[in-house]
Amino acid sequence: MIKFSKFFSNLQETSWYRSFLNPVISEVRNNSTLLDIGTGSGKLIQILSNEKGVDCTGVDTNSDMLKEAKSKIKSNKIKLLEIEANKQLPFEDHSFNYVTICNVLFHLSNENIDLMLQDSKRLLKEDGKIIVLTPTGIGNIFTLTKYFFSLKNIGIFIWFYATRNRAAKWTKTNYLKEYSEKNKITYSSQIVMEGFAQLEVITV
């Protein structure tokens, strides 16, 4: 049976996955420094390193995902590291311009979200940004077909239905907006990818 990490890695090579990641890619400045938490098979950092000269580090708790990332990323400029969940990450304070967290936070408990955000704030340089990308869970088979149908994009239907319930809850509860208000930090959000994803940015 095909491993989930391999399946996910293949998913990341499709045009619809690039559409999902594009809003994050646009938000990141050329030649900056970036930490991607929950990097999975590493597509975002591969693109940012190749296309924008970004100095990228990817961390993940799953060794199979990191193996996929290593097999895909040939550049020795990109660092990959296996980490333990819910622990402070092994980097100095103020190391990065950006922390990206894509497709991850909406799977975690509130307590673990807060831990990850707290540590991300510690790791950011002045005016650094935490960029969070999450599916919205909004839409249906007709809108998916309208915008993304092609034989190569069949995986989007699996992704949509596998993430829909948790994603819709994340969209509805506005957790990051409330977190930012409580902590008096700047927050913005926009719906992207034809309504299928939300980009949230916290500036520290």
Residues within the interface to ligand SAM (CB under 6 A):
12, 37-40, 43, 59-62, 65, 83, 85-86, 102-104
Half-sphere exposure of 70 (CA within 13 A, CB side): 11
What is the distance between the alpha carbons of residues 56 and 48, in angstroms, rounded to a whole number? 8
Nearest to 80 by CA among 68, 95, 70, 88: 70
Measured from the CB atom, is 86 or 188 closer to ligand SAM? Answer: 86
Please, what is the angle between helix 63-72 and helix 43-52, to 10°?
30
Q: How far is the CB of 119 from ligand SAM (least distance, A)?
A: 10
Nearest to 44 by CA among 94, 99, 126, 108: 99
Measured from the CB atom, is 7 or 147 closer to ligand SAM? Answer: 7
Buried/exposed 43-78: b ≥16 CB within 10 Å, e otherwise: bbbbbbbeebebbbbbbbebebbbbbbeeebeeeeb
Measured from the CB atom, is 81 or 185 closer to ligand SAM? Answer: 81
DSSP code for 152: G
Q: How far is the CB of 96 from ligand SAM (least distance, A)?
A: 15
Measured from the CB atom, is 66 or 204 closer to ligand SAM? Answer: 66
Measured from the CB atom, is 82 or 181 closer to ligand SAM? Answer: 82
Q: How far is the CB of 83 from ligand SAM (least distance, A)?
A: 6
Q: How far is the CB of 184 from ligand SAM (least distance, A)?
A: 25
Q: How far is the CB of 91 from ligand SAM (least distance, A)?
A: 13
Beta bridge partners of 192: 197
